[in-house]
Structure 1
């Protein structure tokens, strides 16, 4: 059962940024819609499973960090799902994105907790995770740097909704997390990985 869990978690680490990148293809003039939102929901599920496995793998080495960072990262993932549902509703109800954001502003507490805080937490969590993985030498330095770069590029592409930047951000996230996912699955299968440390 533990082997299957590792394989599934590894597959999710590859699938999450892949599905996220695919969702960008369905942007319409910079706006998300039903197709993008649906794919982002699926990507979010994969992010939750995959990132949970990464945090568990380093828990013994950085227990305090993991205890705080794991739930915050999950909060960030839920925020991604909230934005995905918003994008779906905008297309379903033929609502303008600017108007939707304005209406959301009429409920500041809800907007703050469900969108703005959660929206910041995902890229922040990924950036710090990349830095920690590099510091404890759980991954090669290039993998950690790519993780941090992807985390920085993510909001820079999503806030202005620039497809070109979004594809770059998606690729920067795909490369390191695919590495982590493949290594995690290989370890679960009993394959000897290059790096002795877990992801």
Structure 2
């Protein structure tokens, strides 16, 4: 298996692709969703305490207005968060903050792992480091941690045959690495 040439796909990663991939990740990330739930609980708690206090001090009408304001803010919270994240990602993409992220990419399925090669860098993700693979609106996310991922846009696959060949090679090697029982952290064990 190590003598064969790596299977690769090539694509142009644009700022728009980067923004959409990050937006999809942020809106689906377990860490982000947990943070949003905590924020909603905090808002509900704060406005509930305020409503109780103002009901005791100023009367029922003021207390009810605090409850309504808290409910509206809690309901609009996810929408406001999504809008603010979209704007922040748009600003970062326009500024070109990530060196080497935009431009041509070549993702290769190698015996030792999945490599993302650009003119500026080469990022090798070893098979034992891959935690999960998810697909969202045609973009594949190869996760190596809760907030670390390698996006592969659908534009990388010219046709169904390219997608099939890449996927087959990728999943075969991933399964082989998992069956070998390689450790999650550190270098792969030396076998002789």
- Could you say whether these structures have the same fold, taking a TM-score greater than 0.5 normalized by the shorter chain as the test? no
Compute the TM-score of the two structures, normalised by the length of structure 2.
0.24
Which has the larger helix fraction? 1
How does the TM-score come out when normalised to structure 1? Answer: 0.24
